[in-house]
Structures are given as structure tokens and as C-alpha cells.
């Protein structure tokens, strides 16, 4: 397949109702849906690594409705963790008792949902960026936490997400310590963070990251903060995972 589709030719997120056939184009990925006969459709996904997914979808009517949406990046290269490790391209220095808000890129995956009978079933999920879909270990080799890893660029606003590759995450940083620190990485559980989309852009619930003292230790306490937005809430698909509490690192 060709991987040179321009960004302007990419399909948008959202609902699609198919009566005969539909072609969708995303980075490194093409999807074709075709009518095979009365009340039955075929689904074919092809990517730049020559992975081919084929499915047959029986339906109760003469049309098929699907939703294409960004989902949490927890399924590729394997479903092993609920944590994301963002290594900031540009570290943020927080002086003592100061605060800052940044917008950073966060990886996503793509979900295809079958819409029927008032609910949505997961039909397919994949990544449009397999080369950069990787893990990293936070902490000691024998006791660390496995995380989905991404090199994260700080951007200006929610509008700066890369279609089908990443979403933008607002990070509210606060330093409650009496000395300055550089923040170069953010590690957080993303399982409860909702994802939202508009056209081909995506955003994620924001997080609060606070440098504070706990007993005799300096720790980085990270928590989710829901956002208010008129962007469309994505369906979600990840199996239940156990989320444990870990201390977050700073330089």
C-alpha cells in the first residue's frame, strides 16, 4: 500500500453509515468496507507493514454504521500496562513554590466500533505509528513499572495534535518544595483518562503533577483532572487492568 497520502486527504474521526462501500485513509493504514450481499459487509484493513485484517460483518438492516475514534494507547505492541511514560523533549524548570501549565503530545491508538442497537462494540483497534509504539521500564530492572513510552513534544494548544498519531494532553505542574527542579518526564496511569476528538484532532483528560514532600521523601504526585469540552467523547476499549500507585521521578 502507499504510505504517502497527504494529511489533507486523511479521513476524519466520527460516525460513518455505509450502504454500499467506504474507503478510509489514515497514516500508514487503509480501511475498505464493502457490501457482500443482503445484510452482510466485509471489513479489510491493510497497513504499511503488510498486515492484513479481514472480517465479515452480518447486520440486521441494509446499512452498516461504524465509529472511528482515538483510544488510549494500551494495546500495542501488546496489552501489558496501564501506564504512559512521556519523556519531554524540552524539560520544564520549576522554581520553588511555582506552577506552570503545558500542552504535550501523548500517543494514541485507533478504535473502530460497530454501532448497533443503541450501543457500540469494538470491531478493530490498531496503531498508525507502529515504529514508535514501544515500552519503557520506569524504576529498577527487578521491580520497575512497565510503561507505554513516547518522546513528547511540548506544543501550544489542543489544536496541535497529529492526526491519528497523537493527542494533546494538558499538564498542570506545581512545585511545593523549597528548591527548584527540572521536570523531564511524566509517568501516569492513563486508564481513567477519557479521549475526545474533533475532525482529525484528539485530546485527553488533563493531569495534575505536584512536586511535594511526603515524610522525608520528595515525590511527584500525579492525578487525573477531567476537562470540560465540546469535542466528542470517544468510546473506549481496554481490558480491566490493575493500577498500582508509584512515585514519579524528577531530575
Domain coverage including residue 92: 7-229
- Any domain includes 249: no
Element (H, E) at 195: strand 195-198
Is residue 170 situated within a structural domain? yes
Percent of the chain with pLDDT over 70: 90
Helical residues (DSSP H) of the chain, grouped into ranges: none
Pairing of strands 83-94, 181-189: antiparallel
Q: What is the pLDDT of residue 245?
A: 45
pLDDT given at position 8? 57
Q: Specify if 172 maps to a domain.
A: yes
The answer as to whether 250 is a domain residue is: no
> In the prediction, which pLDDT does 220 show?
81
| pLDDT above 80 (res 175) | yes
Does a structural domain hold residue 239?
no
pTM above 0.85, yes or no: yes
Task: Report which of 147, 110, 150, 153 is spatially closest to residue 128, judged by C-alpha positions.
Answer: 110
| Inside any domain, residue 146 | yes
Summarised one tens digit per residue, pLDDT across range 120-158 is 999 999 999 999 999 999 988 888 999 999 999 999 999
pLDDT digits (tens, 9 = 90+) for 11-41: 999 999 999 999 999 999 999 999 999 999 9
Domain count, the chain: 1
CB-based contacts of 191: which residues, under 8 Å, 6+ apart? 72, 74, 82, 238, 241, 243
59 in a domain, yes or no? Answer: yes
Residues 16, 2, 128: CA angle, nearest 5 degrees:
55
C-beta separation of 57 from 42 below 8 A: yes
Amino acid at each position: 500500500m502507499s504510505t504517502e497520502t497527504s494529511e489533507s486527504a486523511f479521513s476524519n474521526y466520527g460516525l460513518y453509515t455505509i450502504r454500499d462501500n467506504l474507503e478510509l485513509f489514515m497514516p500508514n493504514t487503509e480501511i475498505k468496507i464493502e457490501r457482500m450481499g443482503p445484510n452482510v459487509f466485509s471489513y479489510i484493513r491493510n497497513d504499511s507493514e503488510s498486515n492484513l485484517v479481514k472480517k465479515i460483518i452480518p447486520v440486521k438492516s441494509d446499512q452498516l454504521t461504524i465509529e472511528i475514534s482515538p483510544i488510549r494507547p494500551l494495546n500495542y505492541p501488546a496489552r501489558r500496562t496501564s501506564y504512559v511514560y512521556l519523556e519531554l523533549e524540552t524539560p520544564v524548570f520549576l522554581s520553588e513554590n511555582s506552577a506552570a501549565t503545558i500542552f504535550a503530545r501523548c500517543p494514541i491508538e485507533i478504535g473502530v466500533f460497530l454501532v448497533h442497537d443503541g450501543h457500540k462494540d469494538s470491531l478493530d483497534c490498531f496503531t498508525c505509528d507502529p515504529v514508535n509504539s514501544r515500552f519503557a521500564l520506569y524504576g529498577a530492572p527487578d521491580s520497575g513499572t512497565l510503561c507505554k513510552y513516547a518522546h513528547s513534544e511540548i506544543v501550544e494548544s489542543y489544536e496541535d495534535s497529529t492526526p491519528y498519531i497523537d493527542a494533546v494532553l494538558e499538564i498542570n505542574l506545581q512545585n511545593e518544595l523549597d528548591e527548584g527542579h527540572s521536570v523531564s518526564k511524566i509517568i501516569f496511569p492513563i486508564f481513567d483518562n477519557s479521549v475526545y476528538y474533533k475532525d482529525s484532532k484528539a485530546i485527553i483528560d488533563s493531569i495534575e503533577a505536584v512536586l511535594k514532600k511526603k515524610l522525608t521523601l520528595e515525590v511527584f504526585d500525579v492525578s487525573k483532572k477531567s476537562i470540560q469540552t465540546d469535542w466528542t467523547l470517544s468510546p473506549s476499549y481496554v481490558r480491566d487492568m490493575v493500577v498500582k500507585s508509584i512515585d514519579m521521578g524528577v531530575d
